Amino acid sequence: MGKVWFVGAGPGDPDLITVKGRDLIASASAILYAGSLVSEAAMRWAPAGCEIADSKDMALEEITAWLIAKAQAHETVIRLQTGDPGLYGALIEMVQPLDAAGIEVGVVPGVSSAMASAATAVESLTLPEVTQTVILTRVEGRTPMPEGESLQALAQHHSTLCIFLSITLLKKVQSELLAAGWSEDAPVLVVQKASWPDEEKIVRGTLSDIRDRCIAEKITSQAMIIVSPALGARHWPDLKKSKLYDKTFTHRFRKAENPVINEPGNE
């Protein structure tokens, strides 16, 4: 029996795959990649003779049957998935049949489209005294949300929201955030195909107009929605600075200059 590796290909740019993921591709005998979401350019590291297949037309049972069959014949088999395998990647659904077949599995994490979208727009998902929490979620569509995880409930925290798989449900995103107390002029960032060379689109707007802006740009798939009180901070005249780099703040690697006495967190 060989080993099946679930490798995160990252958000789109083939160069954003991890070094470990690239090296596994270079040693693989068989690769099944999610062709609807993963750039075929990621196969450029595959060795000659490597069996490569696209899973975009496969159902779950066909995917797991392919992986099991190849693992019975080869030492290294790769399931190459978009982003990170542990985020909306049906990882456990594919691992369970492999476990039942006695096939060893491994997972290599990947860069999520949430992080890639923030990076391409030069935004920070957290800011001192603004928000220190990031929620990765989606809007309820054909797949129901567990109790307590509606977008309206999560949005009531008023922290950063990275909303996956929901670009066609922007109207619902708007209504649920407004119901949670967000203002109509709250900034919203939408990035389609983050990091994809020559295909990436960045749309900025507010909660009231972001849907119209996305319709105008014909964005209907593969898009990340970010709503955050930290959006646009690059252009704010005043920021609360991180204590980590404050010269008056002592930590184990640096002694403070003129330390602030009795400041909370400065013990």
Helical ranges in the chain per DSSP H: 19-27, 60-71, 91-100, 113-120, 151-155, 170-179, 210-216
Name which of 80-84, 158-162, 168-172, 254-258 the model is least confident about.
Answer: 254-258
Q: What is this structure's pTM?
A: 0.90
pLDDT of residue 263: 54
pLDDT of residue 267: 44
Q: Is the pLDDT of residue 222 over 60?
A: yes
Where are the domains positioned within the chain?
3-108, 113-234
Mean pLDDT, the chain, rounded, equals 92
- What is 31-87 written as a DSSP string? EEE-TTTS-GGGGGGSPTT-EEEE-TT--HHHHHHHHHHHHTT-SEEEEEESB-TTS
pLDDT band for position 262 (cuts 50, 70, 90): low
pLDDT of residue 265: 55
Q: Is the pLDDT of residue 264 over 70?
A: no
Class for domain 3-108, per CATH?
alpha beta
- The CATH H-level superfamily of 113-234 is Tetrapyrrole methylase, C-terminal domain (3.30.950.10)
Angle in degrees, CA 100, 106, 108, rounded to 5: 145
Name which of 99-113, 181-195, 201-215, 250-264 the model is least confident about.
Answer: 250-264
- Strand 187-192 relative to strand 160-164: parallel, antiparallel, unpaired? unpaired
pLDDT of residue 179: 97
Q: Is the pLDDT of residue 261 over 70?
A: no
- Strand 223-227 relative to strand 187-192: parallel, antiparallel, unpaired? antiparallel
pLDDT band for position 259 (cuts 50, 70, 90): low
The model's pLDDT over 126-168, given as tens digits with 9 standing for 90+, comes to 999 999 999 999 998 888 899 999 999 999 999 999 999 999 9
Q: Is the pLDDT of residue 249 over 80?
A: no
At 29, list the tokens: 């005998």
